[in-house]
Amino acid sequence: MFFEEEEEEEEEEEEEEEEEEVLRSSGVFVWSDRGK
């Protein structure tokens, strides 16, 4: 059970990193559009 929780957290972190890279390369802030 512990492994499943850890995997989910890692996946979320990876997704955030990918989003940051896209924002940096495109130069557009998607967070503001999302209202985060």
- The domain locations on the chain are 2-34
pLDDT at 10: 63
Per-residue confidence (pLDDT) for residue 19, from 0 to 100: 73
Tokens 């967070």 sit on residue: 31
Tell me: the pLDDT tens digits for 1-36?
566 666 666 666 667 777 777 666 666 665 555 554
29 and 20 in contact (C-beta within 8 Å)? no
**pLDDT value at residue 18:** 76
Predicted local distance difference test score (pLDDT) of residue 29: 61
Q: What angle do CA 26, 27, 32 make, to 5 degrees?
A: 110
Q: What pLDDT does residue 21 have?
A: 73
Cβ neighbors of 30 (< 8 A, separation 6 or more) are: 19, 22, 23
